[in-house]
Amino acid sequence: MMRIVVLLFLAVLFTGFVVTAILAGTSGEWVWWILVVLTGLLVLLGIRDLSQKKHAILRNFPIVGHARYLFEFIRPEIQQYFIERNTDGRPFSRDTRSLIYARAKGADSHKAFGTELNVNEVGHEYLLHSAAPVAPSTSQHRVRVGSSQCSKPYEISLMNISSMSFGSLSANAVLAMNKGAATGEFVHETGEGGLTKYHLEYGADLFWEIGSGYFGCRTPEGRFNPETFAAKASHENVKGITIKLSQGAKPGLGGVLPAAKVTEEISAARDVPMGVDCISPASHAEFSTPRELMHFVAKLRELSGGKPVGIKFCVGSRTDVMALCKGMLETGILVDFITIDGAEGGTGAAPLEYEDHVGAPLTEGLMLVHNTLVGAGLRDEIRLAAAGKVANGSDIIKRLIQGADFTFSARSMMMATGCIQAQQCHTNHCPVGVATQNKRLMRALDVEDKGHRVYNYHRLTVTECAQIIASMGLTSPEQLNTRMLRRRVNLQSTRSYASLFQWLRPGELLEDIPSSWKEDWDEADADHFGEHAPLDYAAPRSVDITPSTVHEPEDAVSAPRIEPRESAKVRPVHADVTRPEGKPGADS
């Protein structure tokens, strides 16, 4: 019925075109000629829609079907600006974004009329204040990073800039963050894209991240280059080294910088060719076991002159975490810090399945690693960092209670730099110039102004953190404990983290292993990652799954990274569409 109505509409439109043409020819009025042109264009569009074979909705509903694509195009903006409430926006709510923007502008942000959260909702968490608050600290709380095997420990802020590479970010965004970090005396982590001139411009303290691509310290074959690494790691601004094993947005996958974003500068900084996608493999080529990883840690610490060396990963298997601890115990080599990236992290674009369903959330991952280090007798030597949606002072305190010593933040720092959560980071079309290599777009980002904003946001957030700690009656983050954070578990009651979760005693895994930990601890092996032991029960299937051969289509094409809105023709993709970043490193 609707199709008949649309066809009648086209018929009326065509009739109108004929009538206006006759009127234009007889009267000579220019207004009629405008109507002739408009109705003629609509008639041509309708004929095109009816004859094309690419979009079924346009073929069935010519002209009016275009409204569907218009609404789909503007849907994100409509959702963000008109529909979402202050508390339910994703990934960051409007309230959180507003707080970041206000603090970045130097405003001591307040909100009137009380909370909009449902504090009686199951899962709601809150901190315990004291009836006798103390005066807040006027200086930054700092944490010493460096085990007994580290000769150059570093005092780090409670909140720092998390890993974001030049290439993923624009040069101006990196410069602004570096300026803010230098002014505020907190760490700017480089991301795995290499140590670039933009990271060194303003003299901020840096943690240099080394990923599986070894960008900036690689051989032409893509292997680790110790000589290049040693030369760069000796720079006075480099205060620590992070070995990235995985990240929260896509644990188990490497990374891709699309060829369109690989400029001459990026090519030089990463030691990669132009014109092709820049790939980070899913795993490292220099090690494949916890034992080998520890030896690589020792190698980097020696090459860097004794600076702190840590590892970063999103928690997957509990056995993996225990295997890392056994690797340290059996080799006698310690990492200086571990950064836990929660599955809710998201500066890297990733397949939706990975973003939504792979990896442990930060709370579970952080407490697991903290607990395991305590049980293995290693916690006193190793500092823990939390990364994943840390945006305000209460976020920092919650993570400290859950086991962290300090935090990293990525997306909130992007927002302080001007990000509007457009979620276009992987397209090279970031509208505010933060996550793009488009010079026209990035020129809008003023380094001087945004650098001040990054500093302001950090300064006001860590100050608010110190104020909350004082309101809890404490003078230092070291006095925080698991009784001070409570979670509503049902409509009638709340429980503290101390009673809600099992917390191991120092060395308990080495002496009297709890029954709930014993199976995983026994399986954990310094010479293996993963849950490699056979399982005699709870197997998901009892039949063999055999691989099948898929024939290559004749006109197959590569799968594009970004969904084309108006492709000329949809073709079948190659039979093998395995992502290159999903493959392990060389010789793994």
Query: How far, in Å, CA of 186 to CA of 177, rounded?
Result: 10
Number of residues written out for the chain: 588
Query: How far, in Å, CA of 12 to CA of 46, rounded?
Result: 12
Top-confidence range, 45-59, 384-398, 548-562: 384-398
Handedness of CA 506, 359, 392, 255 (dihedral sign): positive
Query: How far, in Å, CA of 161 to CA of 396, rounded?
Result: 13
Q: What is the chain's alpha carbon radius of gyration, rounded to the nearest angstrom?
A: 28
Confidence band for 588, pLDDT divided at 50, 70 and 90: very low
In a 13 Å sphere around the CA of 551, the CA atoms on its Cβ side amount to 3
Query: How far, in Å, CA of 117 to CA of 124, rounded?
Result: 9
Percentage of the chain exceeding pLDDT 70: 88
Q: Which residue has the tokens 């810090």?
A: 337
Q: What is the pLDDT of residue 7?
A: 62
Residue 567, both tokens: 């492709």
Query: How far, in Å, CA of 177 to CA of 412, rounded?
Result: 11
Name, in order, each residue with C-beta under 8 angstroms of 25's C-beta and a sequence gap of 6 or more. Answer: none
Query: How far, in Å, CA of 111 to CA of 321, rounded?
Result: 41
- Range of weakest confidence among 267-276, 303-312, 367-376: 267-276
- The pLDDT of 437-441, averaged and rounded, is 89
Residue 561, both tokens: 């990274």
Query: How far, in Å, CA of 19 to CA of 223, rounded?
Result: 73
Helices (H), 28-65: 30-51, 56-60
Backbone dihedral angles phi then psi of residue 45, each to the nearest 5 degrees: -65, -45
Query: How far, in Å, CA of 256 to CA of 280, rounded?
Result: 6
> Dihedral, CA atoms, 471, 473, 477, 481, nearest 10 degrees?
-110
Q: What angle do CA 292, 156, 337 make, to 5 degrees?
A: 20
Please write the tens of the pLDDT for every residue from 12-51.
Answer: 766 776 776 676 666 666 655 666 677 777 778 888 888 8
Contact 376, 325 (CB under 8 A): yes
Please write the tens of the pLDDT for every residue from 241-289.
Answer: 999 999 888 888 887 777 777 888 888 888 888 887 788 888 999 999 9
Mean residue pLDDT of the chain comes to 87
Q: Which amino acid is at 47?
A: I
Q: Which amino acid is at 464?
A: E
Contact 21, 36 (CB under 8 A): yes
Please write the tens of the pLDDT for every residue from 181-208.
Answer: 999 999 999 999 999 999 999 999 999 9
More confident: 500 or 93: 500
Confidence band for 346, pLDDT divided at 50, 70 and 90: low
Measured over all CA atoms, what is the biggest interatomic distance in the chain, rounded to whole angstroms? 102
Helix axes 290-303, 318-331, angle to 10 degrees: 60
Q: What is the pLDDT of residue 111?
A: 80
Confidence band for 343, pLDDT divided at 50, 70 and 90: confident
| DSSP-based three-state secondary structure for 508 | helix
Contact 127, 472 (CB under 8 A): yes
Percentage of the chain exceeding pLDDT 90: 56
Confidence band for 552, pLDDT divided at 50, 70 and 90: confident
Bridge partners for 208 per DSSP: 241
CATH code of the domain made up of 153-523: 3.20.20.70
Q: How far is CA 205 from CA 74, 208, 236, 269, in A?
A: 41, 10, 9, 19
